């Protein structure tokens, strides 16, 4: 089920695939990351205080995340051009995806944040190598979110 009537995904569900433009305008799919752990994080808006802190947390923890085989994908309703400016300004090394039609956020249950239908909720979905949701964050510590993600993946993999 898609759209507003869709039930939010939960742990154990297959992660819905998508086709979204990245910060360079290239179409990306979740399926292209099959075989890797993915931290798919939705955030309200580029260049706002909380979103910048969260993105910088992933930036600062990026090497450690990569060592654990975790791919970071950020998603908001901003345009690819806005994402490129946000990445450049804060030197973000990971992919940002543009969900301007809000379809992916709706499929995951992350639509309708603080700004209503104008922004995504600050939710993060951890997806294992097989494309299954293994953890959902509905409350995020923006300054330490990369660490939260690494700990949750470690617990899931039993390390």
Residue positions annotated with a catalytic role: 51
Render 46-112 in DSSP notation, one character per residue: TTSHHHHHHHHHHHHTHHHHHHTTEEEEEEESS-HHHHHHHHHHHT--SEEEE-TT-HHHHHHT-EE
Q: Is 41 left (phi over 0), alpha (psi -120 to 50) or beta?
A: beta
Render 104-137 in DSSP notation, one character per residue: HHHHHT-EEETTEEEEE---EEEE-TTSBEEEEE
Buried b (16+ CB within 10 A) or exposed e, 109-121: bbbbbeeeeebbb
């Amino acid at each position: 089920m898609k759209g507003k009537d869709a039930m939010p995904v939960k742990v154990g569900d297959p992660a819905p695939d998508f086709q979204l433009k990245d910060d360079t305008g290239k179409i990306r799919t979740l399926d292209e990351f099959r075989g890797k752990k993915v931290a798919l994080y939705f955030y309200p808006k580029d260049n706002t205080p909380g979103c910048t802190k969260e993105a910088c947390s992933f930036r600062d923890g990026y090497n450690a995340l990569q060592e654990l085989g975790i791919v970071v994908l950020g998603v908001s309703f901003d345009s690819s051009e806005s994402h490129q400016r946000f990445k450049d300004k804060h030197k973000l090394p990971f992919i940002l995806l543009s969900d301007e039609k809000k379809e992916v956020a709706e499929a995951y249950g992350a639509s309708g944040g603080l700004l209503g239908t104008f922004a995504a909720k600050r939710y993060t979905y951890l997806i294992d190598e097989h494309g299954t949701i293994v953890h959902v964050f509905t409350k995020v510590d923006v300054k330490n979110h990369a660490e939260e993600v690494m700990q949750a993946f470690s617990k899931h993999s039993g390390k």
